[in-house]
Amino acid sequence: MRHLLCILVALLVSAGARAGVGVTPDVDSADSAGLFVGVQRFQADDSIEQVKYAVDDAVDLAYALSETKLLMPKQIALALCGEPMKAISKAHLAELTREGASVHAATQSEIIRLLESQAEKVGKSGILVASFATHGVTDDGVQYLLTASSRLRDRETSLSEAKIRDIVYESGVERSLIFIDACRQKLTKGPRPPLGDPRSAAALLKSLAGVYGHVVYSAAAVGGYAYDDDETCNGVFTAAVIAALECGAKTVKGYVTVDTLNTFVEKRVLSWVRTHRQPRARKATQLLCEGQAKKMRLSVCARRAH
């Protein structure tokens, strides 16, 4: 189970181009770059529960975006700790690396270095895509993402929302899609607390919202939790985004937009939560973005326009 701090944004697709999905004219792929972090195991603190599908989420998302041509494999950096659970995710990883994607450790220092270097590669007509699949915790209102080298009791070993925000701002990136699939409900090993772990309360990078070109999409509404789906071997949220970008979402003149993706994902995730966890849940996800960014086109679905 996971409680997604999902800040990363709306561009995931796992099997992209098969359904008529293609690159959109909103951004120039040659000017774009992406970082995909998946932390399944926490090497510095064995009290932390593994995030079962974290590597699958990171790999599948990276592969999806390469299929849509929004990102080319050589523009993709993967920071991983653990192994993909699905055979298809293993195949995706092998294909990405053959085509030029780089694989790195998922330690705090390496993730920071990679985020800075990937942000520096983004040009005026490009976009920065950053994806984080891991645990997330809050402390005094500050959100932290755990890395492979993090210790739960030592916040200095984690990656704060402020650090992510500062890197995006200081790089001069004009458009970013930041997806953070974190804050799992079960944070530590042993019996699950009946009301969840209070350290895993949802927190959003609200300061990125309202800025031109930046979209913040959270897999869980404030105070809620997000979960893993053992059928798809992905997070419930990630699986929904993939389905939306594969042309499950309503299209506008043949394109899936941030707005139509959000509508599709919220409906699907809420249905899953009501069926499997909270029958009376009223909201599952949360989208924050500058008004015009809702119209940003994410994938082409020429065969499925409706």
The full set of domains in the chain, from first to last, is: 16-304 (3.40.50.1460)
Question: What phi and psi values does residue 110 have, to the nearest 5 degrees?
Answer: -70, -40
Name the pTM for this structure.
Answer: 0.82
Per-residue pLDDT of the chain (306 residues; tens, 9 = 90+): 444 333 333 333 323 333 345 545 567 888 999 999 999 999 999 999 998 999 999 999 899 888 877 789 999 999 999 999 999 999 999 999 999 999 999 999 999 999 999 999 999 888 898 888 888 877 776 778 899 999 988 989 999 878 888 898 889 888 888 877 776 556 777 655 444 454 443 443 344 444 356 676 766 666 667 688 899 999 888 888 888 888 888 888 888 888 898 899 899 989 998 999 889 988 887 777 766 777 877 777 754 444
Q: Which residue has 């798809």 as its token pair?
A: 232
Does residue 86 sit in helix, strand or coil?
A: coil
Quote the pLDDT of residue 26: 61
Q: Which residue has 């593994």 as its token pair?
A: 50
First to last CA, the chain: 34
Give the C-alpha separation, 12 to 238, whole Å: 7
